[in-house]
Amino acid sequence: MSGDAGRLFTRAELALDPVDLAQLLLGSVLEATGPDGTVAVRLVEVEAYRGEDDPASHCYRGRTPRNAVMWGPAGHLYVYFVYGMHFCANIVGSHDGVAGAVLLRAGEVVSGLDVVRRRRPAARGTGELAKGPAILTSVLRIDREQNGVDLTDPASPVRLHVGERVDPERIRTGPRVGVAMAMDTPWRFWIDGSPAVSTYRRGGKRRVRPAS
DNA sequence: AAACCGATTCACT
DNA sequence: GTGAATCGGTTTC
């Protein structure tokens, strides 16, 4: 797969169970073109959210206008608005009719550094310019307008490229950040050693209390 | 029609 | 470590 680094992923390659897709996405490169320039980020931290049996997923309670893209086709972008001020981006990994997606939590800027500096003049050090899911979208200038775009289309404003091979030994896994439910489900994946990887915080409220 | 609350970030103690 | 900012999607009355 190193030989192919730089080419776009195909839809078929991304039509996976989100848990498998998450690991495939580590090291891949997401590139977004806006009116003020193009920025590319190497993904180093992601989380899988999948369907019916995942209470932390937006698709847990079925299809709604907001989460519709999570049902496919794969390889499209799912963007949602949170906390009244931020956007988070996911790559859809729909598979066998099961809805799901991979949240993009962090990346390293690999091109367009000048554009990023203009967008975020007060940002942190070079290696951690895209640390955190809402910072990642702000660096790439992804918002609700890009919801549903096809990442495998060369004409799309946001595209997903195959990256350099990642050493499997560097891949780590653990519970997802900020989720209050399914804390035993280790569906967060990251590349060990990247300065962009978030520090773990557990979700705010415990949902199910043991009934006495 | 209204309440509830989140896959967060940033500033401050 | 704690808390505020802020608002649309979803649920509930």
- In this prediction, residue A208 carries a pLDDT of 45
Q: Strand, helix or coil at A160?
A: strand
Q: Which nucleotides of C are covered by protein (CB under 7 A)?
A: 5-11
Q: Is the CB of A64 under 7 A from strand C?
A: yes
**Which residues, including other chains, have CB under 8 Å from residue A170's CB and lie 6 or more apart?**
A191, A192, A193
- Does residue A189 surpass a pLDDT of 70? yes
Q: What are phi and psi of A199, to 5 degrees?
A: -85, 140
- In this prediction, residue A2 carries a pLDDT of 56
Catalogue all structural domains in chain A, each as residue range(s) with its CATH number: 2-191 (3.10.300.10)
pLDDT band of residue A206 (cuts 50, 70, 90) is: low
Determine the distance from the C-alpha atom of residue A184 to the mean position of all C-alpha atoms in its chain, rounded to a whole number: 20
CB contact at 8 A, A140 and A151? no
Give the closest residue to A189 by CA, choosing from A118, A102, A67, A117.
A102
Q: Is the CB of A10 under 7 A from strand C?
A: no
Q: Which two tokens stand for residue A161?
A: 């490229």
Determine the distance from the C-alpha atom of residue A100 to the mean position of all C-alpha atoms in its chain, rounded to a whole number: 12
**Which residues face A161 on adjacent strands?**
A8, A29
Q: Is the CB of A83 under 7 A from strand C?
A: yes
- Does residue A210 surpass a pLDDT of 80? no
Residue carrying the six token digits 């035993």: A184
Q: Which nucleotides of B are covered by protein (CB under 7 A)?
A: 6-11
Distance CA A112, CA A22 (A): 24
